[in-house]
Every structure is written in structure tokens, then in C-alpha cells.
Homo-oligomer: A and B are copies of this chain.
Amino acid sequence: MTEPTESKTDVLIIGAGPSGLMAAAWMAHMGVKARIVDKRNTKIFSGQADGLQCRSLEIFDSLGFGDRAWKEAHHMIEICMWNPGQDGVIRRSDRIPDTIVGLSRFQQIVLHQGRIERFFLDNIKKYSGDTIHVERGVLPESLEIDADKVDDDEAYPVTVKLRTLSAEEATPQQQITGSKVADGLFRSNLINEDDEADLIKKSAARAGATEIVHAKYVIGCDGARSWTRRALGFELVGEATDFIWGVMDIIPFTDFPDIRMRCAIHSAKNGSLMVIPRENKMVRLYIQLKEVTPDASGRADRSKITPDIIFSAAQKILAPYKIDYEYCDWWTAYQIGQRVGTSFDAHNRVFLAGDAVHTHSPKAGQGMNVSMQDCYNLGWKVGLVAQGIAKRSILSSYQSERRQIAQDLIDFDHKFSRLFSGRPAKDVMDAEGVSMEEFKDAFLKGNMFASGLSVNYGPSTIVAKPGDAAEQEDFEKKQALATGLPVGMRFNSFKVLNQADARPWHFQERLKADGRFRVVLFAGDILKPEQKARVDKFCELLDAPASFLHRATPEGQAIDGVIEVLTIHSSKRVDTELLRDFPAILHPLDPHRGWDYDKVFVDDVSYHEGYGDAYKNYGVDRERGCVVVVRPDQYVAWVGELDDFEHLERYFAGCLVLRA
């Protein structure tokens, strides 16, 4: 047996599903030294989660591949509800838009997880110059945290032993059925064996290459049976229900009229079915299996479940419509359960994200989204702290912010699953049945949650909200300056024009995921002398050598390297000029590349793309404007007047390392 090699890295990511890839993407975009390992030797190639929320698309766009997802995906536009009539025959009872109108510049779409992983891999390669790439077939075997060093910014207190597997070990075994269709049981929660443990055992029996990695931070994104979680001794708590569902991806032959719509179908007696149309003529069916029930141990017998059993259940639910298929791309079955992690981090040095800390049923189409968003929340924090730009204290906001979301998700899923798996009520007197009105109501409310846009983070060092009632009144005054930008929620997007070239941009397009905080200066009507004086004063303070802006920026770095100042003014574009009317700090001069023409925007009418009416939509006064701080993950962090400079400075002093 060869001696293990030793190495150091700032961030080690365990698991290369969408959640781990999101963390790696942050490191790539921010230039953080990082590694990402996965025990499998290949990325997944069919099946798996595939609904994408509006918010996930906004996030993809901030990384630079929102357009790829948008282009390839199936767009879900309408939900059709089907319920039994008085005669017990299903009929369409309602149509509702799949995404709430006006919520986002994107709508919910469906795309195979393998494609999403591909976009991440390409993006990580592009931004890291291939210095960060997924190391496949690599299994962690031990993890230790040196508790004495966890508060030392320079230390590498986490030690992880990694072992490289043989190709054979790293290939997940798929059951090949008679129909030659790959099933998904090996990853479904019906499986009992723990294949990681098995893999480790096999590895131990042979001489595999091992490596000791010393890391500043470790992020465990290794799924529902997370090795990292178990290494930390944490648990998922919650329970399974009696509801068993099958899933099939097929190209259907059917006379059912809404097969290309998202459908929620409750049959009178045969259970429920959800239709999710997909790309390439495929349709995903979620099918309630009423004839399969858990045994005394609470677990269903997987050997009983075949594609034929699942599909025949679907046919019964859809009757009198006919459905058949020739091609099935993938199938699986699962038992509904909701569980959430007891803790999301250890010493703010090892973090858990995604399925490692929350599992639930797939039907709500939330899992992959919430998992990716865990790491969209976490990645920049870890990156900025590892780079010495932000204070370590911001890391505790990960658990406080994301554990609540996980709990909300579990609650949502619990309610939704119960309503969806229950028998429809025959009439108002049928107390045991599920009222279809209640179901529709839950669906509508759930739609807001399911967009990913209802997230509202609580107070912390990076969200300037009142911690107690005494501060409430003052906060409400500040919040009133930008009623469309609630502190704690994501920065909504409206179109503005670039002052220098008149090009319309969705403002969110300018909030790229590069790890920078942003100060958005709503400069108001800068042609009014008194307002111009306020803007000049604000800029003078900002540009002073001792300002937070200069002190947050490491020596030798460009002034917009840590905090970028973006301006939106409300005067007419043609009456204003960038160089004449705006202080230099708002469009800084680069000694080699000239003025920055991409930082000042105007709320004005475009030639070809209408009028974003940004001041009105952001709820900002057109004359006096205001100042808004945006976190690197696009959440609104602080709102104040142009004259609240000291308060603004306090915000940054609270979370960033300011040079003396």
C-alpha cells in the first residue's frame, strides 16, 4: 500500500450533483481555490429531477447559462386540473397559468438534470480555466475537524481522506429490466442498502490511491444518504407516508387532450396522476400506486414494482382516455416521506446542502431547485471568507437562512402530497375525501412558493432588518424608500437603459454571480441642482480614501473588485451625459481600458423593448431616489437614503473585512 499524498485546498466540495456543481460554479466565478469530488464515475444520463423554478433560471442567468436552459427546455405554461364529475368520469375542471404572471422574467420549465449538469460543467470550465473540474470515482473515507483551529482565518482545520475508486466500483449498478429500460431504483428511497458503505468496504480490500486533503471549508452535497452528514453524526428527521408513487418518462400515444400540459388528475377511485410534459416529445407521469402498500416495517417491497404495474395504474386513472407507449426512457418508484437535517453545519467549517439536509417527494418539482439554491446561498459566503474579503461571522447566516427554507419545503410538500394522494371528496359531506377546491387553492398558493421567489431571509449581519421591535419603525421608514425591493428578498428585475449606448437591459442581468456586493444608487433626477448636490456628496464620501468602498478593496485591485456601484437615474437619457453629469466614481477610469461605460443606467423608454418603468416598479421616488445594497446572490440587503452614508458604512463594516 502506497503512502497517501497530502494536499491543501481552500474549499473541498463532496458530491457533483446540481447542488455541488452550484458551489463549484461560485468558486470558479470568484477565483477561489477549490476541488470537487464525486464517487460516481459518470454524470447521470436520464431520469432524475427536472423542474426548474423561475428563481433557478434567474440564478442560471447570473452564472451565464440561463439562455441555454431556456432554449432547450420544455416550457410549462398552463396547469390543467382534472377531477371526477358526478358520473365519476374525469373531466377538465380548471386551467391556471403554471407560473404566476408578472413574477419573473422567466417561467417554470422542464429539462433533464443531465443537461443542467452539462451547463454547470461547461460554465465551471470556462470560468476556472479548467482548474476546477469534477474528480470522479473519488470517495471520502474520513473527515476530521480540528476544533482548536476553526476560528483561525489562516488555518486548514478540516482533514478529509479521499480514495480513488476503480472504474468498476464507481459505476452505479442499474437494474436492467426485460424492457431494457434503465430504472432509477438505485437512487430512489425504496432502496435499503447503503452502497457507499459497500463501496468503501470493497475499496479497503485493494490498494487504491488515497490522499489526505487539508481544507479550509468542506461542503457536503452528497445526497439523501450523505456520507458527509453521517461523518458529522448529523441526522435527517421526519417520516415516510404510506403513499407509493411510480414515475415513468415515456413518449405517449394517447387521445387525452392535455398531454402536453402539466396536469393534476384525481380519479374517482383509482388514485391520482400528474402529467409533466418534457422535451423531445417525452412526458413524465407521476402515478399513484394504490395496489402497492408498505409492509409491517413501513417499507414497500420494491420487487413487486414493475413498469407494467405502474403503467396499468396510469391507464386506469386516465380512463376513459386511452394511453400507450412504445418508448420508455426511465422509470422508478418512491415512497413519499419528508425529512430535514438536524444541523446544516459543523463549526461553520463543514456544511451540508441539498438532499443531504432535506428530502421529500419529487412531484412538487422543488428538490433540485432548493438544493441548488442552498449552495447559491452558501457558495459566495464561503468564497469571500476564504479570500479574506468577508468576515467569518457571515457563515452562520447559511443555517439560519436555509434551514427555514428546508422546513417550509417539507411543510409544503407534506400538505401538497396529502392533498394529491388523497381520494377526491364525493361532495361537501365527504369529510374523508379531499376537497377539490382546497386542492386548487393549495396549488395556487403553492405556485408562489414553487417559483422560488417567496424566499424572505431574516435579519443577520448581511440582511439589515430589525432584530427587535425597537428598530422596527426606523426600518419601515427606510423600506418605504423602495417598496418594490423588500429587504431579505431577491432583487426584482425591470428594464433600464445603459446611459452610454441606450441598450435596454433587464437590471438583474447586471447582477452577475461574481462574488461582488453591489450598491445600487437610485440617483433620482440628477438634473435638479439640489438632487445633483446630494449625488455629488454621496459620491464624494464614497470616493474618500477612508470610505468603506476603498477599505473593502484589497490594495492593487480595481475599485469595483469587491463592491460594484451601479446607478439608475430618472432624468431623460437624451438630456444627460455620462461624463458630464455623473461623478467619476460612478464610471471609474481604468488606466488601460478607459472609462467604464457599463455602470450607469437610466429609467427611460427604449426604442424596441418598451418601457421598464423601473422607479415605479421598484417603488422609488423619481426625484430623491435612494440607495440599495444587493448581496452577491441578488438578495436585497439594505435600503436607505443617499444621506444615510454612515448607516451604509456600518452595514459593510459588519460583514466585510475593512482595511485599517
Task: Give the nearest-CB partner of A74 in chain B.
Answer: B501
Tell whether, in the assembled complex, residue B501 and residue A257 are in contact, meaning their CB atoms are under 8 Å apart: no
Whose C-beta in chain B lies nearest to the C-beta of A592? B326
- The residue in chain B whose Cβ has the minimal distance to the Cβ of A594 is B253
How many Å lie between the Cα of A50 and that of B406 in the bound state? 50
Q: Which of A24-32, A577-585, A630-638 contacts B (4 or more CB under 8 A)?
A: A577-585
Which of chain B's residues have a CB closer than 8 A to the CB of A597?
Answer: 259-260, 281
A255 CB contact (under 8 Å) in B504, B574, B579? B579
A608 close to chain B: CB less than 8 A = yes
Q: Are B97 and A607 in contact (CB under 8 A)?
A: yes
A71 in the interface, Cβ–Cβ < 8 Å? Answer: yes
Task: Give the residues in chain B near A281, CB-CB below 8 Å.
Answer: 593-594, 597
Task: Given the known inter-chain contacts A77-B607, A78-B502, A503-B77, please indicate yes or no for A580 contacting B257, CB distance below 8 A.
Answer: yes
| Closest chain B residue, CB of each to CB of A505 | B75
How many Å lie between the Cα of A68 and that of B243 in the bound state? 46
A251 on the B face (CB < 8 A): yes
> CB of A277 within 8 A of chain B?
yes
Q: Is A164 an interface residue (CB 8 A)?
A: no
Residues from chain B with a CB closer than 8 A to the CB of A122 are none
- The B-contacting residues of A in range 243-263, CB under 8 angstroms, are 251-255, 257, 259-261
| Interface residue ranges of A53-72 to B (CB < 8 Å) | 67, 71
State whether the Cβ of A500 lies closer than 8 Å to any Cβ in chain B.
Answer: yes
- In the bound complex, residues from chain B placing their C-beta under 8 Å from that of A606 are 77
* B101-A608 in contact (CB<8A): yes
Does A99 have its Cβ within 8 Å of any Cβ on chain B? yes
Interface status of A107 (Cβ within 8 A of chain B): yes
Residues on the B chain within 8 Å of A97, using CB:
607-608
| Cβ-closest chain B residue relative to A281 | B593
Chain B residues contacting A504 (CB-CB under 8 Å) are 77
CA separation between A259 and B579, bound complex, in Å? Answer: 11
The answer to whether A418 has its CB under 8 Å from any CB of chain B is no
A112, chain B: closest CB distance, angstroms: 17
Q: Is the CB of A251 within 8 A of B594?
A: yes
Q: Is the CB of A503 within 8 A of B75?
A: yes
Q: List 27 A-B contacts (CB under 8 A).
A: A67-B71, A74-B501, A75-B503, A77-B501, A77-B503, A77-B504, A77-B606, A77-B608, A78-B502, A97-B607, A97-B608, A99-B607, A99-B608, A101-B608, A251-B592, A251-B594, A252-B594, A253-B595, A255-B579, A257-B577, A257-B578, A259-B500, A260-B501, A260-B597, A277-B501, A281-B594, A326-B592
